[in-house]
């Protein structure tokens, strides 16, 4: 059975590790854009890159580019992959993602010329009828395109219960939806001795209490609120590692300077995915205080699974699908509340037994719920049900 896994610029290793166990049973090929947002050469099955409409759009100057982005979204043409329909001619399954991507629409249309083609759609979005908020105002993705995608998709896979609820509210029949989460490599992400080489490189001492944050440098991921909380924590032997690039990167640096905590904060723009497990090994707690915005709330949070699998206790913002993922393996705090976040950090800094308990709970939860081999079997069952 030939399966095309289509993700455009969002094709990534951390999702594809849930499909890699199937590569000997199915003929898998991933489809990304020419300029993907993530590393694709580390994926363990072939990947083909197609030109995306955004790569044409980005040739235009800034103001016009923003206008084009809104226009393409409104027309339902964003994330179009040139030549995808031709690629799907010999395939049995097109496994796409989301209601608001043109490549999902392309897969549905490709069924006309390839009658044996079945379409599976994985959905992370957990806000129904979401609108893109731009400088031109809120813009809705072309509704007719969405309705065609709903009609032509054979099975939807929601990664969370909230994702399923959003699909039902959008008009997807419940019988067409399965809930299958995503997992992380439990061998690579596991409790391990602290990486002494990395500690030396980062200037972390044996007695330091280390807080780790991994996330895009955008307001909704909460790094600035973590900085406020960390400053209030004011523990002498403490370090904060902040990893992630984005528009708020410079502001994070500015806050570090204003708080005069340069010697305590290690700010890193990017770490290769195949190296990221080393950072969990030196952390005493992982923090991602996500907050919702009108067009987004935390849809899953792969970093939570990685932290739990690594035996690192979690502190997270109580928003979106986070409670589903974290369960009882962490402490949830109100979104954008640096006061409560600081209290949670102090509690964990002062209670080693609690850290140990949450770490063990997280590892057990990861083994039970987020083993990629188990998840691959669930995906396999979906594929076989369509054959």
- The pLDDT of residue 62 is 84
- The pLDDT of residue 63 is 87
Alpha carbon of residue 356 to chain centroid: 26
Burial pattern 264-283, b for ≥16 Cβ within 10 A else e, equals: bbbbeeeeebeebbbbbbbb
* CA nearest to 118, candidates 13, 4, 194: 4
- The pLDDT of residue 73 is 95
- Whole-Å CA distances, 373 to 140, 186, 306: 37, 10, 15
* CA nearest to 152, candidates 116, 118, 102, 103: 118
Question: What is the CATH number that goes with domain 196-369?
Answer: 3.40.50.2000
CA atoms within 13 Å, Cβ hemisphere of 48: 14
- The pLDDT of residue 387 is 81
- Whole-Å CA distances, 126 to 18, 99, 248, 306, 373: 21, 11, 24, 21, 25
- Whole-Å CA distances, 183 to 308, 334, 378: 11, 25, 12
Residue labelled with tokens 């369509």: 386
Alpha carbon of residue 78 to chain centroid: 20
Give the H/E segment covering residue 40: none
Residue 169, token pair as written in the block: 């509210």
The tens place of each residue's pLDDT in the chain, 387 residues long, gives 999 999 999 999 999 999 999 999 999 999 999 999 999 999 999 999 999 999 999 999 988 998 999 999 999 999 999 999 999 999 999 999 999 999 999 999 999 999 999 999 999 999 999 999 877 789 999 999 999 999 999 999 999 999 999 999 999 999 999 999 999 999 999 999 999 999 999 999 999 999 999 999 999 999 999 999 999 999 999 999 999 999 999 999 999 999 999 999 999 999 999 999 999 999 999 999 999 999 999 999 999 999 999 999 999 999 999 999 999 999 999 999 999 999 999 999 999 999 999 999 999 999 999 999 999 999 999 999 998
Matching CATH topology for 2-183+371-385 and 196-369?
Answer: yes
Residue 266, token pair as written in the block: 């290690």
CB under 8 Å to 300, separation ≥6 — which residues? 124, 159, 160, 181, 182, 321, 325
**Model pTM above 0.75:** yes
Q: Are 225 and 336 in contact (CB under 8 A)?
A: yes
3-state SS string for 140-207: ECCHHHHHHHHHHCCEEEECCHHHHHHHHHHCCCHHHEEECCCCCCCCCCCCCCCCHHHHHHHCCCCC
* CA nearest to 359, candidates 338, 334, 331, 335: 331
d(CA 307, CA 285): 9
In the DSSP assignment, the letter for residue 186 is T
Alpha carbon of residue 69 to chain centroid: 22
* CA nearest to 145, candidates 108, 117, 114, 115: 108
- The pLDDT of residue 155 is 98
The per-residue DSSP string of 189-221 comes to SS-----HHHHHHHT--TT-EEEEEES-SSGGG
- The pLDDT of residue 101 is 98
> Count of CB atoms within 10 A of residue 380's CB?
15
Fold of 2-183+371-385: Rossmann fold (3.40.50)
Q: What value does the CA radius of gyration of the chain take, rounded to a whole number of Å?
A: 21
Residue labelled with tokens 């590790």: 17
Task: Map out the domains of the chain as residue ranges.
Answer: 2-183+371-385, 196-369
């Amino acid at each position: 059975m030939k399966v095309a896994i289509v993700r455009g610029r969002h094709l990534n290793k951390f999702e594809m590790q849930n499909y890699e166990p199937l590569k000997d049973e199915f003929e898998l090929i991933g489809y990304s854009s020419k300029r993907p947002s993530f590393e694709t050469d580390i994926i363990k099955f072939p990947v083909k890159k197609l030109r995306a409409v955004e790569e044409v759009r980005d040739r235009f100057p800034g103001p016009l580019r923003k206008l084009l982005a809104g226009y393409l979204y409104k027309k339902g043409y964003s994330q179009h992959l040139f030549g995808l329909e031709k690629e799907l001619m010999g395939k049995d399954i097109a496994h796409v993602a989301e209601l608001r991507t043109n490549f999902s629409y392309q897969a549905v249309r490709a069924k006309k010329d390839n009658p044996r083609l079945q379409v599976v759609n994985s959905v992370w979005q957990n806000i129904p009828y979401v609108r893109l908020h731009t400088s031109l105002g809120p813009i809705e993705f072309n509704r007719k395109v969405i309705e065609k995608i709903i009609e032509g998709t054979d099975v939807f896979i929601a990664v969370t219960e909230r994702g399923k609820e959003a699909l039902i509210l959008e008009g997807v029949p419940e019988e067409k939806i399965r809930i299958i989460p995503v997992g992380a490599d439990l061998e690579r992400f596991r409790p391990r001795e602290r990486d002494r080489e990395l500690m030396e490189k980062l200037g972390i001492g044996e007695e330091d209490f280390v807080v780790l944050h991994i996330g895009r440098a955008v307001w909704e991921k909460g790094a600035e609120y973590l900085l406020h909380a960390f400053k209030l924590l004011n523990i002498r032997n403490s370090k904060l590692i902040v990893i992630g690039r984005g528009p708020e990167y410079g502001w994070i640096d500015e806050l570090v300077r204003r708080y005069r905590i340069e010697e305590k904060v290690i700010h890193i723009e990017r770490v290769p995915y195949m190296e990221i497990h080393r950072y969990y090994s030196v952390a005493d707690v992982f923090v991602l205080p996500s907050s919702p915005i009108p067009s987004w709330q935390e849809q899953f949070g792969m970093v939570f699974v990685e932290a739990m699998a690594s035996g690192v206790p979690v502190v997270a913002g109580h928003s979106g699908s986070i409670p589903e993922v974290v369960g009882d393996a962490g402490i949830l705090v109100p979104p954008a509340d640096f006061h409560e976040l600081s209290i949670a950090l102090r509690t964990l800094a002062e209670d080693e037994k609690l850290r140990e308990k949450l770490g063990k709970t997280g590892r057990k939860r990861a083994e039970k719920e987020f083993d990629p081999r188990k998840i691959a079997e669930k995906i396999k069952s979906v594929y076989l049900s369509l054959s």
